[in-house]
Structures are given as C-alpha cells and as structure tokens.
Copies of this chain bind each other. A is one copy, B any other.
Amino acid sequence: MSMIRVEEALDIILRRIPSKGVEKVSITEALGRVLSEDIVSRRDNPPMDNSAMDGYALIAADIRSATPEAPVRLEVVEDVAAGYVAQGAALKPGQAVRIMTGAPIPRGADAVIMQEDTERNGKFVLVKDKAEVNENIREAGEDVREGELVIPRGVTLNPAHIGMMGVVGRSQVFVSQRPRVAVLSTGDEIKDLDENPTGPCIFNSNGYMLQAQIRSAGGVPCYLGIARDNEEDLMEKFNWALECDLVVSSGGVSVGDFDLVKASLDKIGQEMLFWKVAMKPGKPLAFGKIGEIPIFGLPGNPVSSFVSFEQFVRPSIRKMMGCTDLRHKTVRARLTRTVKKKAGRQHFLSSMVSWNNGEFTVTPESEQGSGVLKSVVRANSLMIFPLDATELREGEQVAVQLLEECVVA
C-alpha cells in the first residue's frame, strides 16, 4: 500500500465520481434537493397593477386640492372585494372605486388614497388629502418580471425557494437524482442488532452510522447487513451492492484482513486502489470502481469509519447529487488548549466549536482514540491538525470543519 495525502486521495476520488441524472419532482418533495434547471418566471408578479392599501382608486388630478378642511367629494361607482376585478367601465373624472389591498387597479384610475384619509358617506366618499400619480399602486412585475431568473440551477432548495416556485406557478421541478448508496459491513466478529448477542460480540454500529451519514449527505442508503468472512458471502453481497450507484463497505481494509475482501473484488473484476492515507484516524482506505460503480472500503473502527466517510464519501455523494459545495464548511477558530502529535499524518480531532464574544473557539475532546465514538458524539466539529505540524498552541487560530448538525452559537 502506498501512503497518500488526504487532499490527493480526495482529488483522485472526485475525478472518478460521475454525476447522477435528473428527475422531476413535486415542489412538496423538493426541499433539500439540488435544483438542476434555472427557474425562470413565466409571468409578472404581481400579474397586474394593484393596490398597496385598503382605500379608494381614483384619478389623482381630481383631488389635487384636497385637505382635511376642504375635502373633495367623489362618487363611489363600485365596491371591489379582494380577489375580484372592477367590472364597471373605465373610471371617469369625479369617480372612485372602493378597493382592498392587492386588488387590481380599475381602468382609468392612477392612484389609491388610503382609507384613513377618507370619509365614506353612502354613494360618496370625502377625500381629505391629495395623492401623487401612482401613489399606493404596486406595479405589475414589481416583485418578479416575466422572463426573470428567480432561482439558478445548483442551489440546494430551502423553504424560500419552494415559496418562490409557487409564486411563479411551478408545481414540479427538475432536481438531481439522489444516489442510492449500498452499505456493507464485513467481519465474523460483528453481529447485527437483530441477532442474539452471545459471547463477546461487537454490534455492527458502523452499518447504522453509515446509513445516517448517507442520509445526512443527501443519499438513499441501501443496507446489506454483514458479510461473513468467506468469499461466497462477500461475493453475493458485493453483487447486490452493484445494483446501487455507490458502495460503502466497512471493515476488511487493514493490512491483516483485507485479503479476503480484495480477493472477492478481484473475482468481480475490480479496479481498486488500496491506500494508506496520511491521516488519523482512518489510515487504511480502499477506493475504486467495479464497472461504473464507485466503491469505498472504509476502516472498521467507528471513529475512523466516521471521519473517512465525512472526508471522502460525503463529497462523492454530493458530487453525484450535483452540489457545488462538496465539503464541510471550514472556519478558523481560536484553540483553547495546546495539542501535540508526531509529524507525518493529518489528524482530525473531534472537537467542540463555540461562538463566544465575537469569535469561534475550539476545544478538542481529551479522548481521541479511534474506538472511542463517545468523542464524536460529544463533538460538533473536526479540528484539522496539519500533516507536518507537531504542536498547535493555546490561542492559535486553527482550521475546523463544521459537521452537519453543528451549532455555531
């Protein structure tokens, strides 16, 4: 196995990850999906000039002299409810139409006077203030113009985007397909949660954590359970896995035990790279393609599996989904205690980032063992301790990857 840097490994991986195609979904199902078309408005919104106030539509010239002391009297020729259009002929001088917020401006009118500046008296209204032409009129297309690009492709859709699609009348929209990701664990030493835990078994926690990580990244997990340490079982499960878009297997990649996994992959006809990545946790990593299907072999211990997924598999799933931001956000934070390590591997320290007095601070968990999932459970981030560095001091600014559910305040 050759030794390779994190960035180099990710680069090789991403170059081999294809994008998925698109699909058309209802906007009620589109939240969190990646938009794969430009959303262009087919209409003006508002669709026509309308009133910004409850009041009276009128001709501004008629009330040029109006004051509270000397109001102008206009004839109310129609009362228009919200959602209805004035039915009468075009407004003539001396006439007004009672109108609600959002109602279309009747033909002939060129201003709206707000209700508070008027006094109704049967068929007539007394107007106590003047109005400029276009006053209190919201123009057609003021919010969105026909032909305007309102949401560009590539964005991850949030509730405001869904609302905007409603505004422009779209009930369905093209988004990238979500990749189906097979999850396969290997090893006679692990048991599944529905098996009788006799003896010194270890549960297949990785299988469930990986499913959740896949969902968080936007993929659809397809859990294949545990392959036993024999070629027949491995071959069968790898063949099932190849019906998905991406395969993640956990365990079976360290020096001592990857032979069987490798032999099985060889039989299927693989093109695999087995690396030592210069990182901790998570040194051993297998990556390759079987036909067109990318496959990852992650280390079996939980923290290594978690970190390797977040560094390599998550960006791959996001690339397949059409995302442009593939990796976790990274911020600079002030380190709250000195940490040391040997040079030669990039460390990812389970850490707690918090936002205090106008800056991020980061505190690495005291236990960082690759079996100690507790440290990740308590963390909201992974602090990056660069490959060649041997000491980072209290008070230094360091790079920190924010995890999915990270609370920044």
Given A164-B377, A193-B166, A202-B47 in contact, is the A404-B159 Cβ separation under 8 Å? yes
Residues of B within 8 A of A207 (CB): 166
Of residues 367 through 409 on chain A, the ones whose CB sits less than 8 Å from some CB of chain B are: 369, 371-374, 376-377, 379, 397, 402-405, 407-409
Residue contact B54 to A256, C-beta cutoff 8 Å:
yes
Number of copies: 2
The smallest beta-carbon distance between A359 and chain B, in angstroms, is 7
Q: Determine whether A19 belongs to the interface, using a CB cutoff of 8 Å to chain B.
A: no
Is A211 on the interface with B (CB-CB < 8 A)?
yes
The docked-state distance in angstroms from the alpha carbon of A166 to that of B150 is: 44
Which of B163, B208, B371 is in CB contact (< 8 Å) with A165?
A: B208
Which of A28, A54, A255, A397 is most buried by chain B, counting CB atoms within 10 A of its CB? Answer: A28
Residue of B whose beta carbon sits closest to that of A100? B256
Chain B residue nearest to A379 (CB atoms) is B160
Query: Does A257 belong to the interface (CB within 8 Å)?
Result: yes
Residues of B within 8 A of A8 (CB): none
Within 8 A of B (CB), among A86-140: 100-104, 138
> CB-defined interface of A205-244 with B at 8 Å, one 1/0 digit per residue?
1111101110110000101000001000000000000000
Interface residues on A, range: 35 or more
Contact of B205 with A166 in the complex, beta carbons under 8 Å: yes
Q: Is A197 an interface residue (CB 8 A)?
A: yes
Give chain B residues whose Cβ lies under 8 Å from the Cβ of A54. Answer: 254-256
Q: Is A171 an interface residue (CB 8 A)?
A: yes
Q: Which residues on B sit within 8 Å (CB–CB) of A103?
A: 189
Contacts of A82 in B (CB 8 A): 187-189, 229, 256-257
Whether the Cβ atoms of B143 and A377 lie closer than 8 Å is no
Which B residues are CB-close (under 8 A) to A377? 150-151, 160-161, 163-164
Chain B CB within 8 A of A200 CB: yes
A295 to chain B, nearest CB (A): 20
Report the bound CA distance from A108 to B187 in whole Å.
26
A222 to B82, CA, bound (A): 26
The winner among A209, A212, A216, A221 for most chain B CB atoms within 10 A is A212
Q: Within the complex, what minimum Cβ distance (angstroms) separates A164 from chain B?
A: 5
**Whole-angstrom distance between the alpha carbons of A378 and B142 in the complex?**
17
Contacts of A165 in B (CB 8 A): 205, 208
CB of B332 within 8 A of CB of A358, answer yes
Q: Across the interface, do B166 and A325 meet the contact criterion of CB distance under 8 Å?
A: no
Q: Judging by beta carbons under 8 Å apart, are B403 and A158 in contact? A: yes
Q: How far is the CB of A87 from chain B (nearest CB, A)?
A: 12
* Cβ of A157 to closest chain B Cβ, rounded Å: 8
Are B160 and A256 in contact (CB-based, < 8 A)? Answer: no
Is the pair A162, B211 in contact by a Cβ cutoff of 8 Å? yes
| The one of B190, B306, B332, B358 that contacts A163, using a Cβ cutoff of 8 Å | B306
A374 proximity list for chain B (CB < 8 A): 143-144, 150, 164
A337 on the interface (CB 8 Å rule)? no
A168 cross-chain contacts in B, Cβ below 8 A: 203
Least Cβ–Cβ distance between A181 and chain B, in angstroms: 13
A204–B158 contact, CB under 8 A? Answer: no
Contact B169 A208 (CB under 8 A): no
Which of B28, B83, B160, B330 lies in contact with A189, CB distance below 8 A?
B83
Contacts of A407 in B (CB 8 A): 325, 329
Which residues of B have CB within 8 Å of A161?
377
The 5 A-B residue pairs whose C-beta atoms are closest, nearest first, are A83-B189, A163-B209, A166-B205, A83-B188, A159-B212
